[in-house]
Protein backbone atom coordinates (compact mmCIF):
# COMPACT_ATOMS: atom_id res chain seq x y z
CA UNK A 1 0.00 0.00 0.00
CA UNK A 2 1.30 3.45 -0.93
CA UNK A 3 2.53 5.58 1.98
CA UNK A 4 1.04 8.92 1.00
CA UNK A 5 2.71 10.90 3.77
CA UNK A 6 6.11 9.55 2.78
CA UNK A 7 5.35 10.36 -0.84
CA UNK A 8 4.42 13.95 0.01
CA UNK A 9 7.70 14.37 1.86
CA UNK A 10 9.36 14.11 -1.57
CA UNK A 11 7.07 16.64 -3.27
CA UNK A 12 7.81 20.26 -4.11
CA UNK A 13 4.26 21.64 -3.84
CA UNK A 14 4.18 23.88 -6.89
CA UNK A 15 2.29 26.87 -8.23
CA UNK A 16 3.97 28.54 -11.21
CA UNK A 17 1.04 29.60 -13.37
CA UNK A 18 1.49 33.10 -14.80
CA UNK A 19 -1.83 34.15 -13.28
CA UNK A 20 -1.05 32.87 -9.76
CA UNK A 21 -2.54 35.23 -7.16
CA UNK A 22 -1.42 35.99 -3.63
CA UNK A 23 -4.37 34.16 -2.08
CA UNK A 24 -3.50 31.02 -4.05
CA UNK A 25 0.15 31.13 -3.04
CA UNK A 26 -0.84 31.64 0.60
CA UNK A 27 -3.10 28.59 0.38
CA UNK A 28 -0.35 26.54 -1.26
CA UNK A 29 2.09 27.38 1.51
CA UNK A 30 -0.44 26.53 4.21
CA UNK A 31 -1.09 23.18 2.51
CA UNK A 32 2.64 22.48 2.35
CA UNK A 33 2.97 23.08 6.08
CA UNK A 34 -0.10 20.98 6.93
CA UNK A 35 0.85 18.06 4.68
CA UNK A 36 4.62 18.34 5.29
CA UNK A 37 5.72 18.46 1.69
CA UNK A 38 9.42 18.81 0.96
CA UNK A 39 9.00 22.43 -0.09
CA UNK A 40 6.96 24.87 -2.08
CA UNK A 41 8.03 26.13 -5.50
CA UNK A 42 6.54 29.55 -6.20
CA UNK A 43 7.13 32.58 -8.44
CA UNK A 44 9.92 34.92 -7.31
CA UNK A 45 7.61 37.83 -6.43
CA UNK A 46 5.90 35.73 -3.75
CA UNK A 47 9.05 34.55 -1.95
CA UNK A 48 9.40 37.40 0.56
CA UNK A 49 5.76 37.14 1.69
CA UNK A 50 5.97 33.34 1.99
CA UNK A 51 9.14 33.64 4.07
CA UNK A 52 7.55 36.20 6.37
CA UNK A 53 4.42 34.10 6.91
CA UNK A 54 6.19 30.74 7.16
CA UNK A 55 9.66 31.13 8.65
CA UNK A 56 10.32 27.38 8.78
CA UNK A 57 8.96 26.43 5.35
CA UNK A 58 11.44 25.36 2.68
CA UNK A 59 10.83 27.81 -0.14
CA UNK A 60 11.94 27.27 -3.70
CA UNK A 61 11.59 29.56 -6.68
CA UNK A 62 12.52 29.64 -10.35
CA UNK A 63 15.26 31.36 -12.33
CA UNK A 64 15.18 32.02 -16.07
CA UNK A 65 11.78 30.39 -16.10
CA UNK A 66 10.30 28.94 -18.21
CA UNK A 67 12.30 29.54 -21.40
CA UNK A 68 15.89 29.65 -20.15
CA UNK A 69 17.24 32.02 -22.79
CA UNK A 70 17.77 34.96 -20.45
CA UNK A 71 21.34 36.21 -20.25
CA UNK A 72 23.51 34.91 -17.44
CA UNK A 73 23.56 38.43 -15.97
CA UNK A 74 19.76 38.48 -15.86
CA UNK A 75 19.65 35.06 -14.24
CA UNK A 76 22.22 36.13 -11.68
CA UNK A 77 20.21 39.21 -10.76
CA UNK A 78 17.10 37.08 -10.40
CA UNK A 79 18.90 34.49 -8.29
CA UNK A 80 20.46 37.06 -5.97
CA UNK A 81 17.11 38.76 -5.52
CA UNK A 82 15.38 35.48 -4.72
CA UNK A 83 18.01 34.49 -2.17
CA UNK A 84 17.85 37.93 -0.54
CA UNK A 85 14.07 37.57 -0.29
CA UNK A 86 14.47 34.29 1.60
CA UNK A 87 14.48 31.49 -0.97
CA UNK A 88 16.14 28.25 0.12
CA UNK A 89 16.17 26.52 -3.28
CA UNK A 90 16.57 27.71 -6.87
CA UNK A 91 15.23 25.87 -9.92
CA UNK A 92 17.09 27.36 -12.89
CA UNK A 93 16.38 26.71 -16.57
CA UNK A 94 19.42 26.13 -18.77
CA UNK A 95 19.88 27.88 -22.10
CA UNK A 96 18.05 25.17 -24.03
CA UNK A 97 18.91 26.62 -27.43
CA UNK A 98 22.60 26.64 -26.53
CA UNK A 99 22.37 22.97 -25.55
CA UNK A 100 20.73 22.13 -28.89
CA UNK A 101 23.49 24.11 -30.66
CA UNK A 102 25.97 22.00 -28.67
CA UNK A 103 27.39 25.20 -27.23
CA UNK A 104 28.11 23.44 -23.97
CA UNK A 105 30.58 26.05 -22.78
CA UNK A 106 27.75 28.59 -22.72
CA UNK A 107 25.54 26.15 -20.86
CA UNK A 108 28.34 25.39 -18.42
CA UNK A 109 29.10 29.05 -17.75
CA UNK A 110 25.42 29.79 -17.14
CA UNK A 111 25.05 27.01 -14.57
CA UNK A 112 28.40 27.76 -12.94
CA UNK A 113 27.45 31.39 -12.33
CA UNK A 114 24.24 30.45 -10.53
CA UNK A 115 25.99 27.68 -8.62
CA UNK A 116 28.56 30.16 -7.35
CA UNK A 117 25.99 32.65 -6.09
CA UNK A 118 23.88 29.89 -4.50
CA UNK A 119 26.71 27.85 -2.99
CA UNK A 120 24.95 27.72 0.38
CA UNK A 121 21.58 26.88 -1.10
CA UNK A 122 20.04 24.07 -3.11
CA UNK A 123 20.36 24.41 -6.88
CA UNK A 124 18.19 22.42 -9.28
CA UNK A 125 19.08 22.60 -12.97
CA UNK A 126 16.12 22.24 -15.37
CA UNK A 127 17.20 20.72 -18.69
CA UNK A 128 13.76 20.35 -20.38
CA UNK A 129 14.19 16.75 -21.50
CA UNK A 130 11.41 16.88 -24.11
CA UNK A 131 13.69 18.87 -26.42
CA UNK A 132 16.81 16.74 -25.98
CA UNK A 133 18.27 13.71 -27.69
CA UNK A 134 20.00 11.07 -25.61
CA UNK A 135 23.52 12.32 -26.40
CA UNK A 136 22.55 15.84 -25.39
CA UNK A 137 20.90 14.67 -22.18
CA UNK A 138 23.93 12.54 -21.28
CA UNK A 139 26.22 15.51 -21.83
CA UNK A 140 24.08 17.73 -19.64
CA UNK A 141 24.06 15.10 -16.92
CA UNK A 142 27.87 15.24 -16.93
CA UNK A 143 27.96 19.04 -16.84
CA UNK A 144 25.49 19.22 -13.94
CA UNK A 145 27.52 16.58 -12.09
CA UNK A 146 30.85 18.32 -12.69
CA UNK A 147 29.54 21.69 -11.54
CA UNK A 148 28.17 20.32 -8.28
CA UNK A 149 24.51 21.19 -8.68
CA UNK A 150 22.28 19.46 -6.15
CA UNK A 151 19.62 18.30 -8.61
CA UNK A 152 18.99 17.83 -12.28
CA UNK A 153 15.34 18.44 -13.13
CA UNK A 154 13.43 17.10 -16.09
CA UNK A 155 11.05 19.86 -17.08
CA UNK A 156 9.47 23.24 -16.53
CA UNK A 157 5.97 21.92 -17.15
CA UNK A 158 5.64 24.51 -19.92
CA UNK A 159 7.21 22.43 -22.71
CA UNK A 160 5.37 20.03 -25.02
CA UNK A 161 6.01 17.09 -22.68
CA UNK A 162 7.02 16.54 -19.09
CA UNK A 163 8.75 13.86 -17.04
CA UNK A 164 9.02 10.31 -18.35
CA UNK A 165 10.06 7.27 -16.34
CA UNK A 166 12.61 6.31 -18.99
CA UNK A 167 14.21 9.76 -18.73
CA UNK A 168 14.56 9.37 -14.98
CA UNK A 169 16.30 6.02 -15.39
CA UNK A 170 18.61 7.45 -18.08
CA UNK A 171 19.53 10.45 -15.95
CA UNK A 172 20.23 8.24 -12.95
CA UNK A 173 22.65 6.21 -15.07
CA UNK A 174 24.50 9.28 -16.36
CA UNK A 175 24.66 11.55 -13.30
CA UNK A 176 27.06 11.19 -10.41
CA UNK A 177 25.49 9.46 -7.40
CA UNK A 178 25.60 12.74 -5.45
CA UNK A 179 23.32 14.48 -7.96
CA UNK A 180 19.67 14.01 -7.13
CA UNK A 181 16.88 14.00 -9.70
CA UNK A 182 13.68 16.02 -9.70
CA UNK A 183 10.86 14.78 -11.90
CA UNK A 184 8.42 17.48 -12.93
CA UNK A 185 5.89 18.22 -15.63
CA UNK A 186 2.69 16.34 -16.32
CA UNK A 187 2.77 14.19 -13.17
CA UNK A 188 -0.91 14.08 -12.28
CA UNK A 189 -1.48 11.02 -10.10
CA UNK A 190 -0.04 9.63 -6.89
CA UNK A 191 0.77 6.42 -8.75
CA UNK A 192 2.78 8.35 -11.36
CA UNK A 193 4.67 10.14 -8.59
CA UNK A 194 5.57 6.82 -6.98
CA UNK A 195 6.70 5.45 -10.35
CA UNK A 196 9.09 8.37 -10.73
CA UNK A 197 10.54 7.75 -7.28
CA UNK A 198 10.87 4.03 -8.00
CA UNK A 199 12.75 4.87 -11.22
CA UNK A 200 15.33 6.94 -9.33
CA UNK A 201 13.83 10.39 -8.74
CA UNK A 202 14.39 12.02 -5.35
CA UNK A 203 11.93 14.90 -5.66
CA UNK A 204 8.67 15.39 -7.49
CA UNK A 205 7.49 18.75 -8.73
CA UNK A 206 3.69 18.71 -8.76
CA UNK A 207 0.78 21.07 -8.30
CA UNK A 208 -1.86 18.41 -7.61
CA UNK A 209 -0.19 16.23 -4.99
CA UNK A 210 -1.93 17.65 -1.92
CA UNK A 211 -5.34 17.62 -3.60
CA UNK A 212 -4.81 13.99 -4.65
CA UNK A 213 -3.66 13.05 -1.15
CA UNK A 214 -6.69 14.73 0.37
CA UNK A 215 -9.00 12.86 -2.00
CA UNK A 216 -7.26 9.56 -1.26
CA UNK A 217 -7.57 10.13 2.48
CA UNK A 218 -11.27 10.94 2.14
CA UNK A 219 -11.88 7.83 0.03
CA UNK A 220 -10.11 5.67 2.60
CA UNK A 221 -12.59 6.83 5.28
CA UNK A 222 -15.64 5.87 3.24
**Domain at 41, CATH number:** 3.20.20.70
H or E element that contains 93:
strand 89-93
Query: Catalytic site residue 182?
Result: yes
Phi, psi of 8 (to 5 degrees): -65, -25
Q: Which of the residues 75, 124, 153, 167 is marked catalytic?
A: 153
**Quick one: three-class SS letters along 104-120?**
HHHHHHHHHHHHHHCCC
Query: Catalytic site residue 91?
Result: yes
For residues 163 and 6, give the distance between their C-alpha atoms in angstroms, rounded to a whole number: 20
Q: Give the residue numbers spanning the domain of 125.
A: 4-221
Query: Catalytic site residue 221?
Result: no
pLDDT tens string, the chain, 222 residues long: the values are 579 999 999 999 999 999 999 999 999 999 999 999 999 999 999 999 999 999 999 999 999 999 999 999 999 999 999 999 999 999 999 999 999 999 999 999 999 999 999 999 999 999 999 999 999 999 999 999 999 999 999 999 999 999 999 999 999 999 999 999 999 999 999 999 999 999 999 999 999 999 999 999 888 887
pTM of the model: 0.97
Q: Which of the residues 91, 110, 150, 167 is marked catalytic?
A: 91
Domain count, the chain: 1
Amino acid sequence: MMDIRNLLSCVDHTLLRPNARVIEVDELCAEAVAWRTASVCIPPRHVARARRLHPDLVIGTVIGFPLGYDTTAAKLAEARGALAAGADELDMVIDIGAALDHDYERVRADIAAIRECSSRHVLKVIVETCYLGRDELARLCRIVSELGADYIKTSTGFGPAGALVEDIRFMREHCDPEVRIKAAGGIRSLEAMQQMLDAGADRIGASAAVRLAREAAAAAKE
